[in-house]
Amino acid sequence: MCSKMLLAVAIVVISIAVWLWMKSSTSKPPPKLDQNEWWGPNELKAKQDTSIRPFKVKFSEEMIKNLRFRLKNHRTIPPPLEGAGFRYGFNSEQLATWTSYWADEYNFSEREAFFNQFPQFQTNIQGLDIHFIRVKPEVPAGVTVIPLLLMHGWPGSVREFYETIPLLTKQRPGYDFAFEVIVPSLPGYGFSDAAVRPGCGPAQTGVIFHNLMNRLGFKKYYIQGGDWGSVVASMMVVMYPEAILGHHSNFMVAQNGPAFLRMFIGAYFPSLIVEPHLASRLYPLSNLFCYIMEEFGYFHLQATKPDSVGTALSDSPVGLLAYILEKFSTWTVLDNRNLPDGGLSTHFTKDQLIDNLMMYWATNSITTSMRMYAEAMSSNQRKIGFDKMTSTVPAWALQAKYELFYQPANVLKTKYPHLLGTTVLDDGGHFLAFEKPREMADDVFKAVNEFRKYHATNGRTEL
């Protein structure tokens, strides 16, 4: 017992020393990225069209015919292991249900109209045609309209926000504001052009989106992001603290030395780091390490050789379906991997999930979307050191029960010292706006209300 106590004391002393040392290395100044870096073909530089052009989703008959043929004429897929569920990936016994629905029951013309229910546009930013949804609220006099940039991730798309947008663009009781939402497709995703040369990672995407907001006339605005959108958001608040009035995320993570150290201390003294009823979301750390080893093979593959796997997925809609829907299964609730059907129908409809697949198939963008991983993990991106930079922007974290990672507020504050609050849900997974639009919209309203109070207290001009 005594030796264990001495070991614990030694760990604490060493940890505090390391913490102080690491804390001193986390105050790097904001990076100065090229705000006009050109990502499109060089021959278009002299004739860039910076107008904002109306856009509509269009599923051509030729594409639909080809897709149906591929869905109905794929090779026989080997059967799954008995009782394997989704633990080895998408259960091939479930494929027929999905492929037959996509080919024969998914109503392409109706879904096309569904996609086009919101005003959409394209505009050329730094050589890339960027696609975005823009919805303005209709509100009575005296109600403030607030610009909100919503950012998706992989393997999601702007489709994730379709159920949330109407909830955000309508005034609700208790609030004197509503949102004008701008929802862009990430570069290389959906109907946004992909960069033609290496280097366009999350930070560069943040530059593109800031330039987009400025082009739309917004010098100050709020942001919300999940998955890659949350990473882009975490970099934007460092680069543009004067422009961004508030930062809401459903996937907020701190990856700096002090954060890791606090998590490590909590492994021995969890009550110092996390509330008792939430400790199981973080500890024991061995569960986290096992989870990463078991479920993050895709990450390494896409961060190193995205074009190889992209070739297969671009050629086979069946492969694309299996690859992406497996993520919607396990990232919504990890235990779904034990179910024969992956639990997909519990949280989403077939039309919802196939809508999202269409954002990749119709645009042939799966390869270019996965390059985001390679760019984010590149040495050039990592040496910028965003993880060591703190944000002065007020922040708010929405934390779903089954999100991929959980960090308590005192860990998040090592990166976001102005974290005004967290909302901890007893349900929900990684694709939160898609799965629980009401909860997402409620929390965005609550967070922005707190951001506005914060600015009023601190004497900052808001918009």
Average pLDDT over the chain reads 93
Which residue ranges make up each domain of the chain?
Answer: 43-458
For residues 349, 306, 359, 44, the Cα torsion angle rounded to the nearest 10 degrees is 170
Q: What is the predicted pLDDT for the residue at 460?
A: 72
The helix or strand, by DSSP H or E, that contains position 146, with its residue range, turns out to be: strand 144-151
What SS3 class is residue 242? coil
**pTM score:** 0.93
Q: What is the predicted pLDDT for the residue at 391?
A: 96
Mean pLDDT over 161-172 rounds to 97
Active site residue 430: yes
Q: What is the predicted pLDDT for the residue at 463?
A: 73
Q: What is the predicted pLDDT for the residue at 18?
A: 54
Q: Which of 231, 209, 192, 226 is nearest to 149 (CA)?
A: 209
98, 212, 226 from 369: Cα distances, Å: 23, 19, 15
What SS3 class is residue 225? strand
Active site residue 221: no
From 193, 227, 355, 443, the catalytic residue: 227
Task: State the fold for domain 43-458.
Answer: Rossmann fold (3.40.50)
Peptide bond into 155 cis (omega under 30): yes
Q: Is residue 25 scored above 60 in pLDDT?
A: no
**How confident is the model over 92-127, as pLDDT tens digits?**
999 999 999 999 999 999 999 999 999 999 999 999
**How confident is the model over 264-315, as pLDDT tens digits?**
999 999 999 999 999 999 999 999 999 999 999 999 999 999 999 999 999 9
Active site residue 373: yes
Confidence of residue 9 (pLDDT cuts 50, 70, 90): very low
Share of the chain above pLDDT 70, in %: 94
Q: Which of 328, 327, 368 is nearest to 188 (CA)?
A: 368
From 131, 152, 418, 430, the catalytic residue: 430
Confidence of residue 141 (pLDDT cuts 50, 70, 90): confident
Q: Is residue 6 scored above 50 in pLDDT?
A: no
Q: Which of 106, 167, 157 is nearest to 135 (CA)?
A: 167
Confidence of residue 11 (pLDDT cuts 50, 70, 90): low
Q: Is residue 408 scored above 70 in pLDDT?
A: yes
Question: Which residue intervals of 177-316 are DSSP H helices?
Answer: 202-215, 228-239, 257-268, 285-295, 297-304, 306-315
Q: Is residue 432 scored above 70 in pLDDT?
A: yes
CB 324 within 8 A of CB 155: yes
Q: What is the predicted pLDDT for the residue at 326?
A: 98
From 222, 323, 373, 402, the catalytic residue: 373
Separation CA 182–CA 175 (nearest Å): 20
Q: Is residue 3 scored above 80 in pLDDT?
A: no
- 3-state SS of 351-392 is HHHHHHHHHHHCCCCHHHHHHHHHHHCCHHHHCCCHHHCCCC
Separation CA 95–CA 85 (nearest Å): 13
Q: What is the predicted pLDDT for the residue at 17?
A: 42
Q: What is the predicted pLDDT for the residue at 309?
A: 97
Instruction: Compute how many other C-beta atoms are within 10 angstroms of the C-beta atom of residue 241.
Output: 14
Q: What is the predicted pLDDT for the residue at 51?
A: 97
